[in-house]
Each structure stands twice: as C-alpha cells, then as structure tokens.
Amino acid sequence: MSGEGRGARQSKRARGAAGQIDLILDALEFSAHKHRDQRRKDPRASPYVNHPIAVAKTLGHDGGVHDPAVIAAALLHDTLEDTRTSAAELRRRFGPRIAAMVREVTDNKRLSKPRRKRLQIEHARGLSRGARLVKMADKIANLRDLLVNPPVGWSLARRREYFDWAKAVVDELRGTNPRLEREFDRIYRRRPGRN
C-alpha cells in the first residue's frame, strides 16, 4: 500500500478521534453552562456539574465504556430534568441518539417522588443499552456521594433507603455491563449502617 493511502487513513482516524473529543467537550461545556447556578445538597454545596462529570468518569474508568455518545449523554443526563433545556435543543445540538438517551433517563417531575422512583424500577429493563449504562453509572456516582458527602439532613434511614432503591433499579439493568455491576455491588456492600 502506498504511503499516501496509509496517510489518508490515519488522517481520517485522527479527524474521527478529534470529533469524538469535540463532542464530549461540547457536552461538558453545555452541561456546565446549564447547571452553572446549581449546587449539590452536600454540606459544601459542591457545584452540581461535578455529578455529571462523575457519571461520565464512572462509565469510562469503571465500566470501560468509551462510546463518545454515551459519555456525552452521561454529561447531559440531568439537563432535561433539572434545567431549562428542551429535548429539541438537545436534538439540534447533539443529535437524535444522545437526545433520546437523555430523555430515557429523565424523570417526569410532574409526578410524585414515590411514583418517579417506582417508574425508574419498572422502566429500567426497557431502556436502550446507552441509557442503561448512564443509569447504572448515575446510581454508582450517587452511592459514592452518599458514602462520603451525603446531603445535609439525610438520616441514616434515608441513606439506607436510597441504597436499597438504587439496588432495585440496578438489578433491573443487570446483564448490561458486568464491570459496572461489580462496581455497584462493591459500593452497595458499604451501605450505611451495615454490620
């Protein structure tokens, strides 16, 4: 094969990798902007954007997930639910696949909290593979936060209840990514108040 053909293939790969990085950075920038005035409920009132970053990092580091669309969806996963972002806006900026994954993991805030929690369990098996990955990484990130930096005012009973509910959701997602499942189980074994 000529050096020219090899060079063209390498250049195309480099453009593809650059495009993937650009997509992830664009999602990060969008998420940071949308969540700019939001804080976590922990004692330090950490910047909210730390959470979507933790979810994306969990996917790559713990789950071995490197699909840029799934990573982007992780960075954007709370924008529809917690900011003034529309599904159409996500679709225009990030395309239909990413917008669909974000929609799949978005709770309907008009429903009561108990109903939203029940629906997360009931709908988990029907999610697309990408949305399942994001949902599982989200639960892992939330349990990690509950262990080291729980929200102000959360009692031991409430933290334990969240752990058990997260397990019920993840149990419906099993078979999606063994690495994420093992990481979830490892963290769940540290459930607060366990003897």
CA distances in angstroms from 43 to 63, 82, 132, 133, 140, listed in the order given: 29, 20, 30, 29, 20
Phi, psi of 112 (to 5 degrees): -65, 155
Which residues are part of the catalytic machinery?
81-82
Q: For residues 134 and 129, what is the distance between their CA atoms, to the nearest angstrom?
A: 9
Nearest to 127 by CA among 194, 73, 178, 83: 73
> Could you give the angle at the alpha carbon of 192 between the alpha carbons of 190 and 195, nearest 5°?
75
Phi, psi of 64 (to 5 degrees): 65, 25
